[in-house]
Structure 1
Amino acid sequence: MQNQFIQAMDFRHACKIFDKNKKISDENMHFILECARKSPSSFGMEAWKFLVITNEALKAKLRPACWNQVQITSCSHLVIVLAGIESVKVESGKVKKRFARREMPKEALDMYMDLYAKHLATTLSSNENIYCWSAKQTYIAAANMMTGAAFIGIDSCPIEGFEKEKVEEILALDTKKFQVAMLLPFGYRLNPQPEQIRLSFDEVVEFIL
């Protein structure tokens, strides 16, 4: 199993051109999205949402706002990774609902609510701060999606190069609720990929005994 996982990691790369003629099956796409849904998040808030776009006209409309990157239109499925804003605010009521999913005495629930509000006082003080916090967590889900996709032979390419406000406008997002963190195209590579280049294990890992 370890070898299979490493093989998937070796397979994964930032695909530059997808084969437009090859489409991901519904079953495989559901598997990839489940990898996101089951990802960990701070305080278990799951402050994210995943928009799955297959509409070619919409992808074409988004492409100019994404530095005209060909992956946007050549991919099979374009996943827009959204960072939650409103849902992590105490006053939204959703924070309490998230904590209450695990049965606990009222005293324990109150304790968690108090800890959450105090620990995140600065983070929750503005939508800008919340975005920085929740967008960072979406990268955990994105990484799991990419690795899960690679495990079943599907390519991906994380894209940060986009005009955030334009993309949000095209998608008609209510940015008080969600904001775009990343665009994540999925599909099948058109060209062979060169050997993966990484720093050596000893350069990036230090054991402290």
Structure 2
Amino acid sequence: MTNEFSKAMDFRHACKVFDENKKISDEEINFILEAGRKSPSSFGMEAWKFLVITNEELKAKLRPACWNQVQITSCSHLVIVLAGIESVKPESGEVKKRFNRREMPEDKLEFYLGLYASHMEQTLSSDENIYAWTSKQSYIAAGNMMTAAATLEIDSCPIEGFDKNQVEEILGLDRSKFQLSLVLPFGYRTDPQSSQQRLSQEEVIEFIK
């Protein structure tokens, strides 16, 4: 099992060119998306949404807003990772609903709601601060989706090179509810591709005993 995970991690890289003629099956893309949906999140808020785009006209429209990167149009499935804004505000009712999934007594539920509101007071003070928090959370889901894809030998490329406002306008997003966090294309590499480059363990890992 460890070996299979290591193989997936060695396989994964930021794919620069996808094979436009190879498409991911419905079963495989659902497996990848489930890895994102089931990912952990702070307070269990799951403040994200995944738009899965296969419409070629829409992909072509988005490409100029994403620094004209070829992955946007050559990929099989373009996943737009959104960060939730409204759902993490206590007044939305969603926070209570998500805490309530744990089926706790009312007094305990109120305690956790109060703890959440006080602990998150600064974070929840503006949509800008909320976005900084929830977009960070969304990267946990994105990382899990990329690793899940790699186990199937499906490629990905996390893209931050975009004009956020333009992409959100093209997608017609209600920014009070969701904002763009990451553009994440999936597909199959064309050969050859550059090999994976990483810092050594000695440069990255320090054991404190």
TM-score band by shorter chain is over 0.9
Deviations 1:36-63 (A, max 9, x none): 0000000000000000000000000000
Residue by residue, what CA displacement relative to the aligned partner does 1:119-153 show, whole Å, maximum 9, x if unpaired? 00010000000000000000000000000000011
The residue that corresponds to 2:96 in the other structure is 96
User: 1-side partners of 2:194 and 2:7: how far apart?
Assistant: 15
Letter in 1 for 2:63: R
Query: Match of 1:154, as an amino acid?
Result: I
1:25 — aligned with what?
A: 25
Cα deviation, 1:43-96, whole Å, max 9, x if unaligned, reads 000000000000000000000000000000000000000000000000000000
Q: RMSD of the alignment, in Å?
A: 0.6
What is the identity percentage for the equivalent residue pairs of Structure 1 and Structure 2? 74
- TM-score for the superposition, normalised by structure 2: 0.99
How do 1:108-123 residues align onto structure 2 when only pairs under 5 Å count?
Answer: 108-123=108-123
Residues 140-177 of structure 1 show CA distances to partners (whole Å, capped at 9, x for unaligned) of 00000000000011000000000000000000000000
Correspondence list, 1:67-146, <5 A: 67-146=67-146
Q: Tell me which residue corresponds to 1:162.
A: 162
Question: AA paired with 1:105?
Answer: P
Tell me how far 1:201 sits from its aligned partner.
1.1
Letter in 2 for 1:139: Y
SS in 2 for 1:142: helix
Task: Find the counterpart in structure 1 of residue 15 from structure 2.
Answer: 15
**Aligned-partner Cα distance in 2 for 1:201–1:3:** 18
Is the aligned partner of 1:149 residue 2:145?
no
Question: CA separation in 1, counterparts of 2:118 and 2:112?
Answer: 10
Aligned-partner Cα distance in 1 for 2:73–2:165? 20
- Equivalent-residue separation in structure 1 for 2:92 and 2:86 (angstroms): 7
Matches for 1:41-80 after TM superposition, within 5 Å: 41-80=41-80
Q: C-alpha separation between the residues in 1 aligned to 2:190 and 2:196?
A: 17
Output the CA distance in 1 between the equivalents of 2:50 and 2:111. Answer: 31
Counterpart code for 1:140: I
Runs of at least 5 residues in structure 1 that lack an aligned partner in the other structure: none
Structure 2 gaps, min length 5: none
Distance in 2 (CA, whole Å) between partners of 1:103 and 1:202 is: 46
Runs of 4+ in 1 over 6 A off after TM superposition: none
